[in-house]
Structure 1
Amino acid sequence: MQNLVSPTLLSQNTSWDPHFHFYKLGHWINDPNGLFYLNGKYHLFFQLNPDATVWGNMHWGAAESIDLITWKHKPMALYAEPEGLGYIFSGGAVVDINNTSGFGIDDIPPVIATFTQQSVQEEQVQSIAFSVDGGDNFTMFEQNPVIANPGLKDFRDPKVVWFDGQDEQYWVKAVVAGQCVHFYKSTDLKKWTKLSEFGENIGAHGGVWECPDLFPLRCHKTGLERWVLLISINPGGPNGGSATQYFIGNFDGVEFTSQDKETRWLDHGTDCYAGITWDNTPNILEERLYTAWMSNWNYANDTPDDRWRGAMTLPRKIKLSKSNGSYCLLTPAFPDFDACGTQEVQFESGHSLPQAYKLALNVSPKEAETNIVWTNEKDEVFSISINLADKKITVDRSQAGFSEKGFNSTLSIPIVFNTNDTIHLEVYADTCSFECFFNDGEQCITTLVFPSLPFSGLDISEHVNNVIIKNLEALA
């Protein structure tokens, strides 16, 4: 093993506050909602409890960014209506460029938020609100709900996309209903007609389906267009609890059909859930931008830092690729940290790791096993093992500090990429998280950790090369 950083010197700052992940101090947050891009700004809304650091009393919080790294918190966007249709649950938003809704004023395209409301009796319906000032203020539609509950316990998380067919153009809304998705159509975002259902006997069904996202993508290899459907599921993830699966196929304006029945996971870790994509971004047919809630319902209310609970993953690209004759998704990290003035750091013995950084390295295909091990002065350990002989990646957080509520776990995933090629690994480490991207995001693992002291030592197998560390801790 090559010892890149000595574990003997340790930062005294033991805060778990993230440096380059979005969170809200003093509050609980979960699912990202209503993502859109307009006039040079990325808008992020999210499930927010304004009163506590545990789930409950759901509103939509709001923030904006010009680079997806630094965020400006904004006033509440949508308020719960416990005496009316209910609390504000998850959903999406679209920029209504052609003013199909009729809400636009003076050639300003309205932004339409689409979301679920749950009453105190726990009935879930679909509602909308509109903004004519770029998303700073929203007005509730007076004729909500736009889709009534069809008699289901779980009927939520609407996400809307524009369908541009040869003969017809209209909005398509995906809403999860138990363990399937219902698709609806509308020409004005106000009146909706049911089209079809998807999900029976396909994909993972270990828990309730949530947060659908349907959109087209053009493959950068073949130039052909396919449709992608993201579905979060809880429980039933590949490593326990919450996770996000995806399907690739075709959507003809009425029905979605998947290319196969294989269960595919967007991230094999425990802490990438309920993610959706931004609307109206540049090059949206070639790549979508995505973020997710960085937690898991197995322990989300019980993580050890009660000053805040809930953060978002790094924003990622979603690109359509083709491998071994089948379409798949690549999801590399998106933010341009170089534009923020961050620099590569060369560490020598006697120096500590920063608390937030990007680690990039290459693994030789000639070696059967590669180990990357983080340590601290409390003898806590976090490790990644890449075993090419067994075609398996193992992430071990069982001795990484906080070990309750399932944190004493070891995560294992099968390798799907070509093990005859050099493996490029990028790890984005923050104070309480590791996001691991293999080969441009062909496989990803995101996991939370809560060490009692920051990890300051790093040991890597000798044959690893091109090791680069970029300090990101100044981004807090």
Structure 2
Amino acid sequence: MKLKKLKLLASVFIISLLSSMAFNKAMAEEKNPFRTFDTYKGIGYEQAYRPAFHFTSIKNWINDPNGLMYYDGEYHLFFQHNPLGTGWGNMTWGHAVSTDLVHWKQLAHAITPYGKGYVFSGTGVVDHNNSLGKQIGNTKTLVLMYSYAVDARKGFGILTPPKETKYYQGLAYSTDRGRTFKLLNDGAPVIPFQGRNVDPKGTERDPKLFWHEGSKKWVTLLWLGESSGGKVRIFSSDDLQKWKFESDIVRPWAHECFDLFELPVLDADGNLPNNPQKKWLIYDGSFDYEIGSFDGKKFKSEQALKNHKLGHWNAAQTFNNSPDGRRIIVGWLKKSDFWRKKMPFTEQLSFPAIMQIRRTPEGIRLYRWPVKEIEKLYGKQWRLPRGCSISVANEELKNIDKECLDMSIEFTPGKDKDLELNIRGSKLSFNATKNTIHFISKSNLSKKSTWDAKSVEEKKDRKNHRFKYDQYVMNDALNNKGTVKLRILVDRGSFEIFLNDGITVLTHSELHDLDNRSISFSGGSTLINSMKIHEVKSSWKTSAQK
């Protein structure tokens, strides 16, 4: 009898304990201060400065794109996100999905801070062979690898700062097509802290995870931190949990947010030859890049370092598992200060672009070009007469009064014939003598005017550094056909300028004057071979997200 009572009491105790644990867990989740997505649902997309076709969060801050992947008809875009305000901090993984790369639906925050750390950048993959062992039915598991940032420096967010900085890499996974995510082993490390002998600051981060078909293994690249001397460590795994060290890459230029993937080598015109050679491309957050080979363990560079960044662009990442063989890249379009216009959001991402490598007289070079899906947003179209003069072009351009545009221009400059294109007060000019394209935005023209008016003595005074301005130069403007080709995406808060099929790309954040939609040419007598302009309509719903 006593034994039965003891068993009964034990059962009651266990049930009570489990109930209490479940209740406490539910309460903890309910009180999670970073689970703020419910407050987003009353905000629409009709704000005056909301970009029409560049991704922004419904509200609050975003920066690095994370975890880009495609599965079951959806592109998944995760991003560094502050769910508590329009400034950087409280790093969480925001989440949005799209079926076409232009119309996005934002979902609940995927991973939020826990313990004493925040969720920094990382990658996402489709676990196609159930390496993690979490698959339910026929739905593949989506796996995110992120940096768990335990950082003692001030200003990271609302959590109590730890005593020391010590990052590691964790995993989260979803068995319901990315609608909810669970931390693997409660967020414990799968790649532990590598030690202060590697990075005295302890800031190793931004894992790049992908499947390497040649070795039939998962591979992760890990930047070893701010004081590592430019080290990137390569690991391999069979199960996504136990990781084996393979090699280190040491590059003095190496800084955060690495990516590594294979591309076919196209000819100079962008055509795919028969039996194309393939090469691996590696780059960092500042878009320094090398081209070479990779065997699943070591990367070997085969040509000199190059750079493909110009303007306000950083920490780009490409989609894993894209269904059509394209390698699609999205970056953080920095300095998008929408908060200055009292918008509920700030910062934006670049428009998705395909990446190619082509043979050129200077070696294999990288190209970027906007994805064709932008055509889904096209509205009215204008086409200028072929071979028209500047004066004829300006008469035609007076009839265009649209906010957001996709413009394509080609011209054949004569010797010593300069050309300037004015877009809403920002100036894009061709210098025939130097064979360069120069760009300076309207806001920077204002700074330039102020700076130029300063005396030599004032310019020497470092306190006046705030009067400096950004202006950009795109070299080798003439292509191999002796023409200059430009494609310009104009949104409410940015320019993206692609020179000669995208061999050089400039991105620039610029909050346009909403009352100025003017476009005009000036200078020189160059004839415009062709120019077509498409209105780009908003990709967003005009009412609050439901």
TM-score (ref. length: structure 2): 0.74
Letter in structure 2 aligned against 1:463? L
Asked whether the 8 Å contact 1:14–1:452 carries over to 2, the reply is no
Q: CA deviation at 1:363?
A: 1.9
State yes or no: 1:80 paired with 2:113. yes
State yes or no: 1:169 paired with 2:210. no
Deviations along 1:231-282, one digit per CA (max 9) or x if unpaired, are 01xxxxxxxxxx32221111122211222233x222322x221110001112
Q: CA deviation at 1:325?
A: 5.3
- Matched residue, 1:47: 80
Q: CA deviation at 1:334?
A: 0.6
Q: CA deviation at 1:289?
A: 0.7
Cα distance in 2, alignment partners of residues 265 and 170 from structure 1: 30
Cα distance in 2, alignment partners of residues 384 and 41 from structure 1: 37
Asked whether the 8 Å contact 1:397–1:408 carries over to 2, the reply is no
Cα distance in 2, alignment partners of residues 38 and 342 from structure 1: 30
Cα distance in 1, alignment partners of residues 399 and 409 from structure 2: 19
C-alpha distance 76-40 of structure 1, shift in aligned 2 (>3 A): same
Asked whether the 8 Å contact 1:427–1:434 carries over to 2, the reply is yes
Cα distance in 2, alignment partners of residues 137 and 401 from structure 1: 47
C-alpha distance 64-354 of structure 1, shift in aligned 2 (>3 A): same
Cα distance in 1, alignment partners of residues 74 and 467 from structure 2: 38
Deviations along 1:110-137, one digit per CA (max 9) or x if unpaired, are 1110110112433211011111111111
Counterpart among 507, 523, 527 of residue 446 in structure 1: 507
Counterpart among 167, 176, 185 of residue 133 in structure 1: 176
- Matched residue, 1:274: 315
Q: CA deviation at 1:418?
A: 3.1
Cα distance in 2, alignment partners of residues 313 and 333 from structure 1: 10
Letter in structure 1 aligned against 2:204? F
Deviations along 1:381-431, one digit per CA (max 9) or x if unpaired, are 211122243132211126458859678321123227636532221100001
C-alpha distance 350-359 of structure 1, shift in aligned 2 (>3 A): closer
> The residue matched to 1:105 in structure 2 has which SS?
coil
Asked whether the 8 Å contact 2:219–2:237 carries over to 1, the reply is yes
Counterpart among 256, 272, 284 of residue 231 in structure 1: 284
Cα distance in 2, alignment partners of residues 304 and 405 from structure 1: 20
> The residue matched to 1:434 in structure 2 has which SS?
strand
Asked whether the 8 Å contact 1:402–1:449 carries over to 2, the reply is no
Cα distance in 2, alignment partners of residues 15 and 26 from structure 1: 14
Asked whether the 8 Å contact 2:401–2:518 carries over to 1, the reply is yes
C-alpha distance 15-340 of structure 1, shift in aligned 2 (>3 A): closer
Letter in structure 2 aligned against 1:338? E
- Choose between structure 1 and 2: higher strand proportion: 1
Asked whether the 8 Å contact 1:44–1:63 carries over to 2, the reply is yes
TM-score (ref. length: structure 1): 0.85
Alignment map for 1:377-396 (pairs within 5 Å): 381-396=425-440
C-alpha distance 406-104 of structure 1, shift in aligned 2 (>3 A): farther
C-alpha distance 424-401 of structure 1, shift in aligned 2 (>3 A): closer
Range 24-33 or range 50-59, more displaced: 24-33
State yes or no: 1:34 paired with 2:34. no
State yes or no: 1:246 paired with 2:294. no
State yes or no: 1:191 paired with 2:252. no
- Tell me, which stretches of 5 or more residues in structure 1 are unaligned? 1-12, 233-242, 376-380
Number of residue pairs aligned between Structure 1 and Structure 2: 434
Alignment map for 1:90-105 (pairs within 5 Å): 90-105=121-136
State yes or no: 1:62 paired with 2:111. no
Counterpart among 250, 254, 262 of residue 216 in structure 1: 262
- Matched residue, 1:16: 49
Cα distance in 1, alignment partners of residues 338 and 47 from structure 2: 21
- Matched residue, 1:330: 367
Q: CA deviation at 1:365?
A: 4.5
- Matched residue, 1:113: 144
C-alpha distance 470-398 of structure 1, shift in aligned 2 (>3 A): closer
- Matched residue, 1:378: none
Q: CA deviation at 1:470?
A: 0.5
Give RMSD over aligned pairs.
2.5
Cα distance in 1, alignment partners of residues 398 and 363 from structure 2: 48
Counterpart among 322, 325, 331 of residue 292 in structure 1: 331
Cα distance in 2, alignment partners of residues 190 and 341 from structure 1: 45
Cα distance in 2, alignment partners of residues 366 and 199 from structure 1: 46
Letter in structure 2 aligned against 1:218? P
Report sequence identity in percent: 27
